[in-house]
Amino acid sequence: MKKRNTAELRGLKNRLNRIIGQLNGISRMLDENRYCGDVLTQVAAAQKALQAFGNLVLKDHMETCVVEEIRKGNLSVVDEAIELIEKLK
Confidence band, pLDDT 50/70/90 cuts, at residue 89: confident
CB 1 within 8 A of CB 69: no
Which pLDDT score, from 0 to 100, does residue 1 have? 74
Instruction: Work out the average pLDDT over 57-83.
Output: 95
pTM, entire model:
0.88
Task: Give percent above pLDDT 90 in the chain.
Answer: 93
Instruction: Work out the average pLDDT over 47-65.
Output: 96
Homologous superfamily assigned to 6-88: Metal-sensitive repressor, helix protomer (1.20.58.1000)
Confidence band, pLDDT 50/70/90 cuts, at residue 2: confident
Average pLDDT taken over every residue of the chain? 96
pLDDT exceeds cutoff 80 at 43: yes
Count Cβ neighbours within 10 Å for each residue of 21-48 and write b for 16 or more, e otherwise. Answer: ebeeebeebeeeeeeeeebeebeeebee
